[in-house]
Structure 1
Amino acid sequence: MEQLWARIERRLAELGCLDKMALRPGADPQAIAQLERHLGVVLPDPVKRFLAIHDGQDGTGLVDGYTLLSIAGIQQQWDGWRELDEEAMNADCADSMGSEPAGTIKPMYTNPAWIALTHDYGGNHVGLDLDPDLLGQPGQVIAFGRDEDVKRLLANSFPEYMDIYVAWLERARWNGQYLDVKE
């Protein structure tokens, strides 16, 4: 993860926006362990190493316009989702929920084993799925949230997602407010 973060920081510096991202210092192992206890999960080792280098950001827009969450932010987002009547929401929304590809993500509105790693200030996230559907893999990275009726598989693992992200970052531009890629 050290090499990955070095590549990310180097590219952000090239783009002239490293300071704007306001990357936080790394989280200590006790804070990561406390987060796992709070969430009732064991995070994949690459995610723990990632957070140990930079505990999220105080800026915005590092991950495709989304803010990279700190440990406190991950916990806050998870707690916010737990404030919903999950059983009722999942039942009420069952007919409109799906996954892409089908069978990889449980067709639910919310799941306590979906761990947000980013947020867009509108209730949408990129995060871990530690409770996949039959064709999925524990630790896969998904898009989920308020506006995501069809949850999307982004990568089969966190390291695979980070490879995709770094490739995206290599094509990105800093437009003065956020990173974007003109396709």
Structure 2
Amino acid sequence: MQAYWTRWEKWMQKHAPKLPDTLNPGVAPATVDALERLIGSKLPADFKSFYAIHNGQQRVKTGLVDADQLLPVEDMITQWHHWKNVLDSGGFIYNEEIIASTPDTGIKSDWWNPLWIPITSDGFGNHLCIDLDPAPEGQYGQIITVWHEDSHRGILAPSFEAWMHQYITAIEKGEYVFVKKWGIVHKDTFLNYND
């Protein structure tokens, strides 16, 4: 997974030289163990190898993933607790019926599942997640979208490594640009403008 970080940091050095300063050092194994104990499941090896190099990024306005923060494991735990508290308090039940999402094939129809681990955040309850509890047609460790006010749950990639490959390749091809106010954003997004 070092190759992905090397490519990403090389792009950042060229297009956003201050952005690598937002990267955290590699995650401590004990922190990963704490997350795995909390969720009662093992995280994919590709994810752990990637985070051993950099534990996401600091909380800054400029995001690494389409304007969103690449969460450190400690913040994944915090976000997981927020969602779990809503689940446990009945927040995903309306008129005594469980609220369902409208997922892509391969994702369960939960509004949120305790084995959907947030890996990015826009600060408003929207995440990309590692799905450790896929539907039968899905894959363990697939990367999915979870927007708190949108019922659709989409699959972005079949694994963490596949997602990294897709994203970093798209960055290198010029499909993403650096915007000072937001960070790395898709070139066609409304966030790509000059103030």
Could you state the TM-score of these two structures normalised by the residue count of structure 1? 0.90
CA contact (8 A) 2:65 2:185 kept: no
Q: Which residue is equivalent to 1:121?
A: 123
Looking at structure 2, the residues matched to 86 and 17 of structure 1 have their Cα atoms a distance apart, in angstroms, of 43
> 1:18-167 residue pairs with structure 2 within 5 A?
18-19=18-19, 22-58=22-58, 59=60, 60-86=62-88, 88-92=90-94, 94=98, 97-100=101-104, 103-167=105-169
Which portions of structure 1, spanning 4 or more consecutive aligned residues, are displaced by more than 6 angstroms?
none
CA distance in structure 1 between the aligned counterparts of 2:35 and 2:125, rounded to whole angstroms: 20
User: Which one of 173, 185, 194 corresponds to residue 180 of structure 1?
Assistant: 185
**2:39 and 2:147 mapped to 1: Cα distance?**
17
Question: What count of residue pairs does the alignment treat as equivalent?
Answer: 181
Structure 2, unaligned runs of 5 or more? 189-195
Q: String of CA shifts for 1:112-163, please: whole Å, max 9, x gaps.
A: 0000001011101011011111211111000013033110100011111011
5+ residue gaps, structure 1: none
Amino acid paired to 2:49: R
C-alpha contact 2:99 2:110 (8 A) present in aligned 1: no
Instruction: Say which is worse superposed, 162-171 or 48-57, in terms of deviation.
Output: 162-171
Look up the SS of the partner of 1:53 in the other structure.
coil
Distance 1:95 1:31 in 2: 32
* Residue identity in the other structure for 1:173: V
Give the RMSD, CA atoms, in angstroms: 1.9
TM-score scaled by structure 2? 0.85
* Partner Cα separation in structure 1 for residue 21 and residue 116 of structure 2: 25
